Amino acid sequence: MVSGPEPQRLINARRFFLSYSREQVNDVVHLLSPQVVYTLPGHNRLAGTFHGPDEVRQHIVELIDFSHGTFEVLKWVDWMIGETHITALQYAQAQTQGVIYRGHHLYLLQFDQDDLLTAINVFFEDQAAADRFFA
């Protein structure tokens, strides 16, 4: 079976998520729609809903700072491409104050007509473990 080229929205999503570092986040913020909404569930210091590219960028910087730069994707398990959405499943880890967090995260992504990210919803495999780590 021959497949066509990758959709631009997938290329943009991968580029955005593979640039989760303090040095690179400013280089990919243009892949976010001005109306982007990023939702991170839970009852912890990083949970919340972030509106617009500046708030999303600041949230990523806070995640990096909180984990002292140790937030690391150990494996991208799968990228699932639909007609209007993409989901990405990753296995990641982070460390802070001698505590290690590891878990799967599912990202549900939506795009605008220009293939910019308009909605990012995060789901944790174990929300209670994420809340304890990020408390």
* CA–centroid distance for 54 within its chain: 15
Tokens read off for 50: 């972030």
Is residue 66 one of the residues assigned to a domain?
Answer: yes
So what's the pLDDT on residue 3?
67
**pLDDT above 70 for 2:** no
Is residue 3 one of the residues assigned to a domain?
Answer: no
pLDDT tier, 34 (very low <50, low <70, confident <90, very high otherwise): very high
* pLDDT, tens only, 45-98: 999 999 999 999 999 999 989 999 899 999 999 999 998 899 999 999 999 888
CATH no. for residue 101? 3.10.450.50
pLDDT tier, 21 (very low <50, low <70, confident <90, very high otherwise): confident
pTM: 0.92
Is residue 67 one of the residues assigned to a domain?
Answer: yes
So what's the pLDDT on residue 94?
93
The Cα–Cα gap between 99 and 111 comes to: 35
Q: 93 to each of 31, 32, 66, 90, how far by Cα in Å?
A: 25, 24, 13, 10
pLDDT tier, 7 (very low <50, low <70, confident <90, very high otherwise): very high
Is residue 107 one of the residues assigned to a domain?
Answer: yes
Task: Give the residue among 13, 45, 42 at the shortest CA–CA distance from 111.
Answer: 13
Count: domains in the chain? 1
Q: Which domain holds residue 99?
A: 8-134
Q: 80 to each of 7, 30, 109, how far by Cα in Å?
A: 12, 23, 10
